[in-house]
Structure 1
């Protein structure tokens, strides 16, 4: 439904993104990096990453410390370790080739339902139901007349949206609807005047009713996440630091203690000897 209007718009307006010209490995890297991280922050890190590690075998040879350091400030650095684990499996067990089915992709570390569907669509040009937040927001407004989707796709949503997938070139439909949601049907201040299906949009026809759903916002300042990020960044900049030095980075000692324990559990740092910490070697 509305395939022609949306895909035509996409062909004329799509961004020139490097992973759209990459192989399956490059698509996987981009999808992991883009989880909860904006495109503009990902771009420089992605380009440097692919230059340094253009194949799974190349990344598999890196140390965890090198991988975490190269991840930079993308956030959620566990993703870097999952990608590293993926690279090792791909290089040692799968001849550097990504599986081509969603079920097989989901067996790899860090690849869930959405990422598997996205790889099938964007790496292999196959049919899959790709539902990222941009697509879901577009569909919620266009087809349902609702400003915002639920926090996660429902069974009913999946069933309904699967019926809109074209029989041919479903991968193009996925890319086009994602781009339209990201650039035009944005969460705030959507550019309805530039939308190719504005005259068909249920939300617009109802005069843009506000969603009753409470939008979740993620705080950052003073959180455990910020404390963890501060410690990881300090260990990117220094080969090793003592617990006393780590405590100087943060005002709340109990938060530092908790951050150290959870970072150790996640494999993002390691204790070289008692009270001396570094990135994993």
Structure 2
């Protein structure tokens, strides 16, 4: 396998974006919150929400002491609002199990609500300086192209962690940079639709480029269309509840003008099932 670490480190030191969670002393709680927010949400949308969140709840204990409804309300329009509820539950668990300190151990992180392989390893690596493979969508695309000669990666699997581990330097600090650099390269240069191969530090070693950029297919799962979807209806219900909070809304008045009454009812029922809303005596509110 070609040496990918050396050019990645050199490139990252010159081209890395100035992002809040990369600043010295940002802290494990800030890293954890940023990783929750960055799931399926662009960086430019996350930054102002992250800053507001940490100003309001600078520690897990501060968030845990507040109501879940406040977390859902603060989440605003970031999308996928279950992440707000999971982050609140994780904060409660951190207080109960770890005396309010975000754990450094990957298994302990995995045991927290809403945390999977990526987030657990990202916190362990970027907050605590450990050597683990950190693999997101951007990382997987870089590895698929540079090593396997494929235009797009296969669906996520445990093989991704093995592939990323194989390119990590043994030295811990260098391995942290390579993790960050691979993600950064996928986000800014080796993009899904319009890769800028002329600006890529891995161009000379890239198997996909050497093969002439073949179309090897795309097995990624497609996200359902948002417009007219149940997700859109759920978002409309949550916006109404946030705008009215803390006052509950009569169920009959919740997005009463929604064009599909059955979809509206599904949205309300699914929000209640997910713990994002509560119904009582004909009223609907954010969770208490």
Smaller-chain TM-score bracket:
over 0.9
- Deviation, structure 1 residue 158: 3.3
CA distance in 1, matches of 2:57, 2:257: 32
Report whether the alignment pairs 1:18 with 2:20: yes
> Which one of the candidate residues 83, 88, 92 is aligned to 1:84?
88
Report whether the alignment pairs 1:121 with 2:125: yes
The 5-angstrom pairing of residues 54-133 of structure 1 reads 54-133=58-137
- SS of the residue 1:74 aligns to: coil
> Which one of the candidate residues 5, 8, 18 is aligned to 1:6?
8
Which residue of the partner structure matches residue 239 of structure 2?
233
Which residue of the partner structure matches residue 198 of structure 1?
203
Which residue of the partner structure matches residue 280 of structure 1?
287
Give RMSD over aligned pairs: 1.3
CA distance in 2, matches of 1:187, 1:205: 18
The 5-angstrom pairing of residues 175-254 of structure 1 reads 175-218=180-223, 219-238=225-244, 239-254=247-262
CA distance in 2, matches of 1:110, 1:154: 19
The answer (yes or no) to whether the contact 2:4–2:202 under 8 Å persists in 1 is yes
CA distance in 2, matches of 1:122, 1:152: 21
CA distance in 2, matches of 1:272, 1:215: 41
Map Cα deviations across residues 170-206 of structure 1 (whole Å, 9 max, x no partner): 1111011111111110111111111111121111111
- Deviation, structure 1 residue 272: 3.4
Summarize the Cα distance change of 1:249–1:17 in structure 2 as closer, same or farther, 3 Å threshold: farther
- SS of the residue 2:279 aligns to: strand
- Deviation, structure 1 residue 215: 4.1
Which runs of 4 or more aligned residues in structure 1 lie more than 6 Å from their structure 2 counterparts after TM superposition? Answer: none
CA distance in 2, matches of 1:214, 1:265: 31
CA distance in 2, matches of 1:86, 1:227: 27
Report whether the alignment pairs 1:158 with 2:161: yes
The 5-angstrom pairing of residues 34-49 of structure 1 reads 34-49=38-53
Instruction: Name the TM-score, length of structure 2 as normaliser.
Output: 0.93
CA distance in 1, matches of 2:255, 2:183: 43
CA distance in 1, matches of 2:210, 2:165: 24
CA distance in 1, matches of 2:267, 2:259: 13
CA distance in 1, matches of 2:135, 2:95: 29
Count of residues in correspondence between the two structures = 279
Map Cα deviations across residues 110-155 of structure 1 (whole Å, 9 max, x no partner): 1111111111111111111111010110011011110100121243
- Deviation, structure 1 residue 96: 1.6
